[in-house]
A and B are shown apart, each in its own frame.
Chain A
Amino acid sequence: MRYAMAIDTRKCVGCSDCVVACQTENNVPVGFCRDWVVEVVDGTYPNVSIELRSERCNHCNNSPCVRCCPTGASHFEDGGIVVVNHNKCIGCGACIESCPYDARYSHPEGYVDKCTFCIHRVRQGSDPACVSVCPTKCMYFGDLSDPNSKIVNVLKNRKHKSLAPEAGTQPQIFYLL
């Protein structure tokens, strides 16, 4: 099992619903976020293009955050989901420094927090909150090792990229172009 996400940049409108839904689902304090939206503008008027993409922890296969965590709080769960155990976390912030995607933040209650792929929902067979709220249905969540899954299908049929592959972390969020 290998959970991953594919996000269609052709459909995303940058509305940030994924951000609000994550906050209310996961009790993320106002002013912090586990996911966010990036807009990249390219070209000169009137030959301009925009890429909109919703970003979050990439649940990397080769994750520096897990490697550098001194307490083992940052760890892998089944399906490759990278999770921080809040009880074990001492808030040292080493993982924040090591993440090339700036995916983590210090929770005001003293631990480090980030996207969990909504593991509590996934275990019950639901999609993560961001995926299930997105008005444009531009996000696909699923199991890469299941050849019949929608995500495997879209990745097969569409050109895609991941972010900063050169960092060597093997990110598992893919952007459909």
Chain B
Amino acid sequence: MHTRRKFIKIGSLGLGAAALTTGLANWVVGSASSKNSSNGSQSLAYGKKVATYCEVCFWKCAGWAYVTPNGQIQKIIGNDDDPQCNGRLCPRGTGGVGMFSDPDRLKTPLIRVTKDGEQTYREATWDEALNFIATKMKEIREKHGPESMALFNHGSSGKYFTHLLNAFGSNNVAAPSFAQCRGPRDTGFELTFGESVSSPEVTDIRDTRCLVLIGSHIGENMHNGQVQEMSEAIDKGAVIITVDPRLSTAASKSKYWLPIKPSTDLALLLAWIHVLIYDQRYNKAYVEKYAEGFKELKEHVKDYTPEWAYGITTIKPELIRNTAREMANAAPSVIIHPGRHTTWYGDDVQRSRAIAILNGLLGSWGNRGGIYFKEGIKVPEFPRPDYPKPAWSWQDTLNGRYPFAKEAVTNTVIEASIPAEGKKNVIKGWIVSGTNLIVSIPLKEELMKAMQSLDLLVVVDTMPMEITGYADVVLPECTYLERYDDLRATAHREPTLALRMPAVEPMYETKPAWWIAKQIGERLGLGSFFNYKDFKEVLEWQLNKIGSSLNEMERIGLKKFERKTALYIDPNDDFKFKTPSGKIQFNSKELQEAGFDAMPKYTSHPQPEDGFYRLIYGRAPMHTFSRTANNRNLVALMPENSVWVNPQIAELWGIKKDQYVWLKNQDGVVSNFSVKVRITERIRWDSVYIVHGFGHHHKPLTYAFGRGVNDTELVTHVATDPIMGGTGMRGNFVTFLTTQPKKEAKG
């Protein structure tokens, strides 16, 4: 039988310490002495600027890494031509150099071994590590079939491992970005308009006259292009309406802030729909031409009046009416923003449907200032043999659930990795690339069970995130500043291509993911799928096909192409939506046929008991998930998170400003670490707020360890969306412990 996989702390092994000093000797931020300058304002000599696109978040802004003559990356600046950033990176992108210079980086491959009865890691050569993986994968293929290998991924590197798995014969490829994040939104919009708003979102914010944010905190979520456009919209006098139990940054810039009772958003959305229809303020011409199911919708929302919603949401009927009118006045240049992280209460597809329906009623889809049509460049695929057809796939792990999941649901792939009597199609091996599942997956028990049952767990990352402690093999990837990568070909207002090339050679023993995937592939006899020596060859081949070259791209970084299709609906055209009937679906037959409500209905969600507060989590502009909490250039701006508490509640508890408390949730789970209290009028009395991504309990993250609290460890109640499998995480409640609980903080 397989030995139980014990968590190993990489840092306690004293590995890679020597490498650290060699690689970092010349790298100290601020080391270039400015003593010699006469006015204290040295202008640094830059050796060269190198094309890149950012990998700190999924926005992937194109930019330039400036490298000093002695080979240090001094700064990263946005590419002026990139419509996704307009020459301005966000703080994380500007501080991306801290990802490269992080002293805690993974430095060498590690293999789990048992020494004196204790599990530990030993440093390994790449050959050893890769051979180990290939041997295990072959065993899995022989015993269980290639489908029993799965991949969890996030970010650019996922592509290479997806290719590897597809070539191997598996398409069990899942990403938390679907079932733990944007899945409900995408599904809700697909069911209504036939397509999703994709990423970067196709919201025409810069030309909008009214922007409605519901649980979306642009400005704190630093989705660069959107933040820039919101600012432009403010300049142009657009009306902003923000619905949030917390005075978010965006709320503070809004004409209307609706401080809603958490979990009641759907009631507000239905009341808005009611007002638009019954006050005859919806976009009649648009609805008649492009939508179907209006009659049913009108009947459906008959009783969802603002007065009804007031009792649920605590938002005054007048305010609901006024804001609905503002939207109508601006239509069709209005955006009810679809949001991004939408896994809240388990009826999230229905809430997203209500948002989509509102947009449909106002006619924003396909209109200037509403939602535009994206266009991108199709990059030809480098020649390869056909992928083998897997005998089963992630769809089979759904077992008849979540009929509208268009992407793999992490939860069911994890479930399929837990063996049970009579269970067919069990997953035996994982590759995890660029995602810290320990933090991103809320179903911790299942996750642990699955990981304990695997025959192989490979983790590829640049940092010793928590997940690395569970791996059989840890592979150190180089950062985005040290490698070539796939071309960025995201669709936007204008089609563009962006190049990422190495600014410097990879530090330590780190390697790019394309190389890792190719090496494993070759060892599995899949060499024909990796028919190139260097990824540069692939790029050169692709660029030649689309009328460019590596040479040109290295020089310009980003290339724009002419648009061939219309940005908005042409009113003279016979426009068809991508739904089965070609029309916007107010009344979804697809949902009905699958046994779900054809139109969104309000259902109430559990409320906190006395002494408990709803746990709301969100983002800070200088951090991305949990991956920047150790970035020295960014932590100075926000070293730890704090728990936001309303002053009345603080007084009730006798909690003082900056006091450290522990949080305990409704299931008795206590936070690993204590967290600083921020007493602020910006938060409702029935909720507390924390920024996601802190409270790391892995010591090798020497800076981030023990700083702040990790919201996801307190998310033990998960409400799963039956439509697509999204894990609703906003139904958790916490209370304060002002003295240290007995249980020792684990580390």
Contact = CB atoms under 8 A, between A and B. Distances in A.
Interface of A: 10-11, 13-17, 19-21, 23-33, 41, 43-46, 48-50, 52, 77, 83-87, 89, 109, 111, 113, 116, 118-121, 124, 132-138
The residue among A10, A20, A49 with the most chain B CB atoms within 10 A of its own CB is A20
B621 interface: yes
A99 B480 CA distance: 42
A20 B663 CA distance: 32
A133 B43 CA distance: 17
B35 A27 contact: no
A73 B97 CA distance: 32
Interface stretch (B249-257, B437-445, B664-672): B249-257
A41 B682 contact: yes
Interface string B35-77: 1111111111000000000000000000000000000001111
B234 interface: yes
Given A19-B91, A45-B685, A121 B43 contact: yes
Contact of A120 (B31, B41, B74): B41
Given A24-B75, A28-B30, A46 B257 contact: yes
B231 A135 contact: yes
Nearest to A88: B38
A133 B89 contact: yes
Given A16-B621, A43-B681, A50-B247, A116 B39 contact: yes
The residue among B42, B77, B252 with the most chain A CB atoms within 10 A of its own CB is B252
Given A15-B91, A132-B88, A133-B94, A83 B39 contact: yes
Interface stretch (B143-151, B530-538, B631-639, B694-702): B631-639
A41 B30 CA distance: 34
B77 to A, nearest CB: 8
B500 interface: no
Contact of B680 (A11, A13, A41, A121): A41
B228 interface: yes
Interface in B62-121: 74-78, 87-91, 94-95, 97
Contact of A45 (B29, B622, B637, B646): B646
B259 A45 contact: yes
Given A109-B33, A135-B227, A116 B41 contact: yes
A135 B93 CA distance: 11
Q: Which 3 pairs from chain A and chain B are nearest by CB? A: A13-B219, A29-B30, A15-B621
Given A25-B75, A30-B30, A136-B228, 20 more contacts: A11-B235, A15-B222, A15-B227, A16-B637, A24-B76, A24-B94, A27-B32, A41-B680, A45-B681, A46-B684, A49-B252, A50-B682, A87-B35, A109-B34, A119-B39, A120-B41, A132-B87, A133-B77, A135-B90, A137-B228
B685 A119 contact: no
Contacts of A89: 40
Nearest to A13: B219
Contact of A10 (B75, B253, B633): B253
Nearest to A50: B252
B637 to A, nearest CB: 5
Given A11-B235, A19-B637, A45-B259, A87 B36 contact: yes
15 contacts: A11-B234, A11-B235, A14-B249, A20-B633, A20-B634, A24-B94, A24-B97, A25-B75, A27-B34, A30-B29, A45-B681, A50-B249, A87-B35, A87-B36, A135-B227
A118 B43 CA distance: 9
Contacts of B39: 77, 83, 85, 116, 119
B35 A119 contact: no
Contacts of B90: 15, 17, 135
A102 to B, nearest CB: 17
A41 B644 CA distance: 13
B327 to A, nearest CB: 21
A33 to B, nearest CB: 7
Interface residues of B, number: 61
A116 B38 CA distance: 12
A15 B33 contact: no
B683 interface: yes
Contacts of A44: 681
Contacts of B38: 85, 87
Nearest to A15: B621
A48 B75 CA distance: 38
A131 B257 CA distance: 29
Contacts of B78: 133
Contacts of B680: 41
A127 to B, nearest CB: 11
Interface of B: 29-44, 74-78, 87-91, 94-95, 97, 219-220, 222, 224, 227-228, 230-232, 234-235, 247, 249-250, 252-253, 257, 259, 621-622, 632-634, 636-637, 646, 680-685
Contacts of A49: 252
The residue among B29, B250, B684 with the most chain A CB atoms within 10 A of its own CB is B29
Nearest to B252: A50
Given A21-B94, A46-B257, A27 B621 contact: no
Contacts of B683: 45
A21 B75 CA distance: 8
Contacts of A120: 41-43
Contacts of B37: 86
Given A15-B219, A17-B94, A29 B29 contact: yes
A90 B685 CA distance: 52
Contacts of A25: 75
Nearest to B231: A136
Contacts of B42: 26-27, 120
Given A17-B90, A135-B231, A45 B253 contact: no
Contacts of A136: 227-228, 230-231
The residue among A16, A33, A83, A89 with the most chain B CB atoms within 10 A of its own CB is A16
B30 A27 contact: yes
Contacts of A137: 88, 228, 231-232
Given A21-B94, A48-B681, A13 B621 contact: yes
Nearest to A46: B259
A140 to B, nearest CB: 12
Contacts of A15: 90-91, 219, 222, 227, 621-622
A38 to B, nearest CB: 13
A12 to B, nearest CB: 9
Contacts of A46: 247, 257, 259, 684
Contacts of A77: 39
B29 A23 contact: yes
Contacts of A29: 29-30
A93 B252 CA distance: 38
A79 B646 CA distance: 47
A40 B247 CA distance: 13
Given A15-B222, A27-B44, A86 B621 contact: no
Contact of B34 (A17, A52, A86): A86
A89 B37 CA distance: 12
A121 B77 CA distance: 14
Contact of B227 (A13, A23, A124): A13
Contacts of A21: 75, 94
A41 B633 contact: no
Contact of A135 (B75, B228, B682): B228
Contacts of B249: 13-14, 50, 52
B40 A113 contact: yes
The residue among B30, B224, B253, B637 with the most chain A CB atoms within 10 A of its own CB is B30
Contacts of B633: 20, 23-24, 30
